[in-house]
Structures are given as C-alpha cells and as structure tokens.
Structure 1
Amino acid sequence: MTIHRKAAASALAIAALLISAVGAHGKPAIADPLVRADTSFSRFALNQVTDPKVIGRLVNEQDCTETAIDCEWQDSAGVRHIIFGEAVAIKIINAAEVGNRDIAALNIGTARARPEVMARVRAFLPEIAIDCLEPGQAGEGDGISSCGGSFKPDGWIKLLFGPDNRLTFVRIDAFQGN
C-alpha cells in the first residue's frame, strides 16, 4: 500500500469514527440512552430540581404554589413537564397540540404513522428493547395501542397510537410511580 493509500484509509477510518459519534442532527451522540432520550424532549433534565416557572406556562391547574404532580408546565416546544417534589419527573407531548411540526423527542420528527415513528425511535435508542401492545392489550382505551421500553436502572418511555395507528402521545418518566 502506498503512503497516499494508507493516509486515505486512515482518514476514512477517522471519518467513520466521527460519524458514529455524531447524532442525526450533526450533534455529538449521547452515550447514555436515558440521557439521550431525556435531552431529546427538552433541556429541563429529569430528576433535576427545576423552578417550574422557568419551563414555561402552567397549563392545567389554577393554583400550583405548592408544586404538585397534577400541575403541568409547558415549554415553548409544546412539551409538558410534571414536577414531583421539586424535580422534573415526567415529560409529555400531545401530538395533536404539536400538529405537523417536528417532534425532537426520540427523533420522531414529522413522522406520525406508527411504523415510521417506531422505526425512528428504535434507530434513536437501539440499546432499548421496545415492545408494543395492540388495542385491547394495552389497557389505554378503545382502539389505543401502546409501545414502550425501560431504561436501566430506572425510567421508561411510552408512545400511544390511536385507532388510525397515528401517534397521539409521547412520554418519558424518570421512575416508575405507584
């Protein structure tokens, strides 16, 4: 092999390593799948103390002076944040509220049909086993299917699809609540 070929082969190997370390949007990939998933929803990290007023507007309660699990704070991208104690515990996206806009969470983008959404989510989180339950098995209501997976040591994601097999909700939880 000539010096030029060796240099080219080395350059290609370095490029391949760089590409594998970079996510879909040209940002460095985050190794920990829970952190990667969490960050894809919003900058307000799960399990971190956060002043809910910094997140955005209160969307579902009149009085949230005492941080309550029933209070949802929505950021400018439409992600609802639920605080437990003083830390972010749950993040939810209602696909109807977002409409056709890009959903950064789990790299969903503009996909809404279940096969495309699940292909994107599985590609974004290849380390996580994601299983789906069909309507009648999911326990989410008539015609609703559910797909989800768990992170180690804690945390999980859930995606709900309506009777038309289109995305309705995306959710990430910091821990399993009782």
Structure 2
Amino acid sequence: MKIQTAAIAALLLAFSGGTANAGERIADPFARADASFSRYPLNLPTTPQAIGRLINGDVCGEEEGIDCEWEDETGVRHVVVGNDVLAIKAVDVAMLGNRHIAALNIGTARQRADVLAKVRAFLPEIAIDCLEPGKAGEGKGVASCGGSFDNGGWIKLLFGPTGRLTSARVDAFQIN
C-alpha cells in the first residue's frame, strides 16, 4: 500500500480546496472519481473526526473487526481502516432522496440509463460493465455496474428491481 511521493503530491494538489472548480477537470480518472465524492483523499491516512460523525456506534476498528464509517455533511460515508487510511467512499441514495449527488457527476439522475450516461461522460477512460439481477450477487432484483482504475481501485453502482440507483461507491483497495 505504498504510495510514491509524486503520487501523494498529485493527490494533495487535486484535493486542495475540495473538489475541482466547475471549469477544471482532474486528469487522473481515479482522483477525479475520488474528489467527486468528497475532499478527503482515498488511500491516505486521515483524521476521521475531521470528516464528520461516526455512524456505526462506538465499537469499530481492527480489534472489533468492524470497519469505522464516518459521514460528512453531504451524507457521503467514509470507511476508514487500519492506521486511519480512507479506503471507501459511498452514497446511500435513499438517504439523499432526490437531492443532487456530486459523486461521479450523478446529479439528479436516478434511473439506470441516465445514471450510466452521466457516469460514463464523467469517466470516459473507464469501461463500465453491468451484471444483471441474479448474476450480480447483490441481492434479489439488484443489478451492479462498475469499472476499475489502473491503480487497482474501482467504482460500483447498485440499481434496485425498478432500475433506480440505490448506491454509488468508490474503493481504493480491497479491505477484507
């Protein structure tokens, strides 16, 4: 899980001041996806308390075998593992309702075709494939769409039985 100094510098530059301004585009697709969820960079140590509130109670961490999840002011969940390394960012769409979702440039799209069009336009470098319900392994009626980045990270979008988005996430690395 070593990160080279140049990569850290690039990520810090990409995340300084939060997400990119509307006219700017982060060149690295993983950094772009990461920044779209929140200003806290994945795959780097963080101060979890700076993110927001701990949402899975007082008992979490390596000793308990439960990953610590911190929610920021916009409703994005941040999974912190090991030595306070940020591993996953996720959005539970039901919690946000019809509000704008900055993550992956989803905006107010909720139906599968609309969401995939937005995400593919936001990350044209990434091939996004889908597994239909019954093959996705995500539960009855749930379809899963996602794509991988060159650094080993990936995104995943889940759609319920009606084709409506239920969650979106970006993972920096496999945590289990």
TM range (shorter): 0.7 to 0.9
The match for 1:54 is 50
Asked if the contact 2:87/2:175 (under 8 Å) is kept, the reply is: no
Identify the match of residue 22 of structure 2 among 26, 37, 55.
Answer: 26
AA matched with 2:148: S
Q: Within 1, Cα distance between the matches of 2:129 and 2:159?
A: 13
Match of 1:38 in 2: 34
Task: Report the identity percentage.
Answer: 64
Unmatched segments (≥5 aa) in structure 1: 1-23
The normalised TM-score by structure 2 is 0.83
TM-score where L is the length of structure 1:
0.82
Number of equivalences: 155
Structure 2 residue corresponding to 1:169, chosen from 127, 142, 167: 167
Counterpart secondary structure, 1:138 = coil
List 4+ stretches of structure 1 deviating above 6 A: 65-68
Q: Where do residues 24-173 of structure 1 align in structure 2 (5 Å cutoff)?
A: 26-64=22-60, 69-85=66-82, 86-173=84-171
Counterpart residue type for residue 76 of structure 2 = V
Task: Tell me the SS of whatever aligns to 1:170.
Answer: strand
Residue type at the aligned position of 2:114: E
Deviation at 1:61, TM superposition (A): 2.2
How far the C-alpha of 1:65 sits from its partner, in A, is: 7.3
User: What letter matches 1:136 in structure 2?
Assistant: G
Distance in 1 between residues matched to 2:54 and 2:119, nearest whole Å: 28
Maintained 8 Å contact 2:88/2:171: yes
Report deviation, 1:89: 0.2
Distance, in Å, in 1 between the alignment partners of 2:123 and 2:151 is 16
Q: Let me know the Cα RMSD of the aligned residues.
A: 1.8
Any gaps of 5 or more consecutive residues in structure 2? 1-19
Residues 65 and 159 of structure 1, relative CA distance in 2, 3 Å threshold: closer
